Amino acid sequence: MDIKTVGVVGAGQMGNGIAHVFALAGYEVILNDIDRATLDNALKLIDANLKRQVSRDRITEETAKAAMDRISTTMTLSDLGKTDLVIEAATEREAVKSAIFEELVPHLGPDTILTSNTSSISITRLASRTDRPEKFMGFHFMNPVPVMQLVELIRGIATDEKTYNAMKTVVDRLGKTSATAEDFPAFIVNRILMPMINEAVYTLYEGVGSVQSIDQAMKLGTNHPMGPLELADFIGLDTCLAIMNVLHDGLADTKYRPCPLLTKYVEAGWLGRKTDRGFYDYRQSPPVPTR
């Protein structure tokens, strides 16, 4: 499968990062979103991140300009039908993702590969709602995409070897490393990471430690670059809760029960950095703990 053009659905935090690395690797990229302002902001962010790479002598100005020239935007989902590979990077809600694939499928060529950047949802189930489950895979990038080296490759029950090998080749061309995961809830990274974050929230909820002491303990005691509560704010508390619910529902084990305090923060709309409040209040500099 000779992949030259890539469609990215969703121009948010993950989607713009995915567009960035694909354009930098020489692919023609069509970036789609339902909101024009989100698309415009994505282009500005990609340009700024490329310029940061230039300032650090990681790429040349010519390379950065060529990458920007390879990215086009559209608010019309069917425009992605002409691409060789589609990467869905919309919000982590199964109904939204399924609706996107349902709308997109009639416009696709017979050889187009469909993938989802989902961090937890069943690839087999998503694939079953398309006309090409054998050409459907999980293609899970880590955040921030231009910096993080790992991509999880997740095969659904129907994914064929040709599709898997094509995606592995793409990861290699991006200069990243792939890890193959089986199609179980949250795959590898989030199966391990999210329960740790959830346990940190329980530790706060039960009064074992404060926000600051929990994060400091994990940074200095286990050499983590970010504390678990700081990391949760970075990821988005709504995303953390959604993944914990997928684990809890999919594996039916009480050890995956989301902490009530995590649910309360999400209900309050305190989702972390993207709303300026989570376990830290980012309206102040430096941010201060909210508990």
- Which residues are known catalytic residues? 119, 140, 152, 190
Rounded to the nearest 10 degrees, what angle do helices 211-222 and 189-205 cross at?
Answer: 140
Any known ligand binding at 15? yes
Is residue 14 annotated as involved in ligand binding?
A: yes
Asked if the peptide bond before residue 289 counts as cis, ω within 30 degrees of 0, the response is no
Query: What are 220's two structure tokens?
Result: 């200095």
Q: How far apart are CA 209 and CA 211, in angstroms?
A: 7
Strand partners, 113: 85
φ, ψ at 174 (rounded to 5°) = -75, -10
Residue 149 annotated as binding site = no
207 assigned to a ligand binding site: no
13 is in an annotated binding site: yes
109 assigned to a ligand binding site: no
Among the listed residues 225, 239, 8, the one whose alpha carbon sits nearest the alpha carbon of residue 115: 8
Q: What is the CA radius of gyration of the chain?
A: 19
Q: Decide: residue 44, CB within 10 A, 0-12 exposed, 13-18 middle, 19+ buried.
A: exposed
Determine if residue 210 is labeled as part of a ligand binding site: no
User: Was 219 annotated as part of a binding site?
Assistant: no
61-69 and 13-24 helices, crossing angle to 10°: 120
Which residues are annotated as part of the binding site for NAD(+)?
10-15, 33, 92, 97, 119, 143, 274
Which residues are annotated as part of the binding site?
10-15, 33, 92, 97, 119, 143, 274
